[in-house]
Amino acid sequence: MFFLEGFLSLLFPLNCLICHRGLRSDNRKYLCPACWGKIKLIEEPVCSKCGRHSSLSVCSSCQNQKRKYFFSKARAAGVYEGVLRECIHYFKYQKKAYLARPLGELLIDGMSSDEDLREADFLVPVPLDGRRFREREFNQAHLLAQVVSRYFKIPISSRNLRRVRGVPPQTQLSRERREENVKGLFLVPRAEEYEGRRILLIDDVFTTGSTVNECARVLKQAGAEEVSVLTVARGE
């Protein structure tokens, strides 16, 4: 019994990931209710383009910028800070793949209130480059897409948006530099698969949107009718 418990606690932690308090055995969020409650969800009204909380229908940042969005809208469930940021870091960098479920449920909640997103023909996870995939052993966006796919019965298409090459980490770059950095990064080998289809891109975090925008550009070029974006978190 002792061994079994030890084994199970490796697979499913029995303590809250954030505050380490004991969890009820039926807890599948892996966070205690108090810590989970600290996640700051993005509330309506939001910018119709980028999805940040905004009283304007198009936020001032989207109005001011010169770049073109190739996606019709981006939506995120929560703000990338505090507990949610920590969870995403555990998920991505510490290989805590079981967090796909609670994080994926945040995406499900976001889609439940948005009919356009639910009408997608395909979920397309933003692809990782090969080196990062080998380091991490999974693509976090794909695991999130699986949770959403099971719930809404929308198929995943994960082999037709390809990453052509790796990029140096983007975190320190300005938006302009990021855009240059991602240019030509993706391709769609079989355009006919996306012809006239509505695609929902799935990723963990929307930062400047450069990566998803480049994905959207390539998907539209392949003939997709519409591309939307759904992420677990975004900056405020």
Taking CB under 5 A as the criterion, the residue among 30, 46, 49, 102 binding Zn ion is 49
Kindly state the smallest distance separating residue 29's Cβ from Zn ion, in Å: 10
Give the SS3 label for residue 62.
Answer: helix
Taking CB under 5 A as the criterion, the residue among 23, 39, 46, 62 binding Zn ion is 62
In this chain, which stretch among 12-20, 153-161, 162-170, 208-216 interacts with Zn ion, using CB under 5 A?
12-20
With binding defined as CB under 5 A, does residue 42 bind Zn ion?
Answer: no
Decide if 47 contacts 54 (C-beta within 8 A): yes
Decide if 39 contacts 78 (C-beta within 8 A): yes
**Helix, strand, coil share (%) of the chain residues, nearest 5:** 40, 15, 45
With binding defined as CB under 5 A, does residue 229 bind Zn ion?
Answer: no
Q: Closer CB to Zn ion, residue 16 or residue 100?
A: 16
Kindly state the smallest distance separating residue 48's Cβ from Zn ion, in Å: 8
Q: Closer CB to Zn ion, residue 32 or residue 222?
A: 32
Give the SS3 label for residue 151.
Answer: helix
In this chain, which stretch among 29-37, 154-162, 198-206, 210-218 interacts with Zn ion, using CB under 5 A?
29-37
Q: Closer CB to Zn ion, residue 32 or residue 123?
A: 32
With binding defined as CB under 5 A, does residue 117 bind Zn ion?
Answer: no
With binding defined as CB under 5 A, does residue 230 bind Zn ion?
Answer: no
Taking CB under 5 A as the criterion, the residue among 39, 42, 46, 50 binding Zn ion is 50
Kindly state the smallest distance separating residue 185's Cβ from Zn ion, in Å: 23
Kindly state the smallest distance separating residue 72's Cβ from Zn ion, in Å: 13
The helix (H) or strand (E) run that includes residue 34 is: helix 33-36
Nearby residues of 94 by Cβ (< 8 Å), 6 or more positions away: none
- For residue 163, the cross-strand partners are 186
CA R_g for the chain: 18
Distance CA(191)–CA(219), nearest Å, equals 8
CA atoms within 13 A on the CB side of 190: 6
Triad 176, 46, 236: Cα angle to 5° = 50
With binding defined as CB under 5 A, does residue 126 bind Zn ion?
Answer: no
Q: Which residues bind Zn ion (CB under 5 A)?
A: 16, 18-19, 32, 35, 47, 49-50, 59, 62
